[in-house]
């Protein structure tokens, strides 16, 4: 579910994904692995990956 929220990239989804990471409901390694397992095209994979990295504690989105 989180990968689809990262792909949608709506503000309400980003609040949800940031909270999930902050509360330890998922870790970045799991998100990266699941993003890699999706059928999303390589040309669309960079944005969700950048968002994951930005949402990490100490990431660019903090």
pLDDT at 38: 94
Is 60 part of a structural domain of the chain?
Answer: no
- Structural domains of the chain, count: 1
**Residue 60: per-residue pLDDT:** 58
CB 16 within 8 A of CB 5: yes
Determine, yes or no, domain membership for 61.
no
Give the residue numbers spanning the domain of 26.
2-55
What pLDDT shows up at residue 58?
74
5 pLDDT above the threshold of 80: yes
Surface-to-core class of residue 31, CB atoms within 10 Å of its CB (0-12 exposed, 13-18 middle, 19+ buried): buried
Q: Residue 62 and residue 36: Cα distance in Å, rounded?
A: 24
Count, residues in the chain = 62
Task: Give the tens place of pLDDT for each residue, 14-53.
Answer: 999 999 999 999 999 999 999 999 999 888 999 999 999 9
């Amino acid at each position: 579910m989180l990968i689809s929220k990262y792909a949608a990239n709506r503000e309400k989804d980003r609040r949800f994904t940031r909270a999930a990471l902050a509360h330890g409901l998922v870790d970045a390694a799991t998100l990266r692995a699941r993003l890699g397992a999706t059928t999303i095209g390589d040309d669309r994979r960079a944005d969700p990956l950048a968002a994951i990295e930005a949402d990490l504690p100490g990431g660019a989105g903090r």
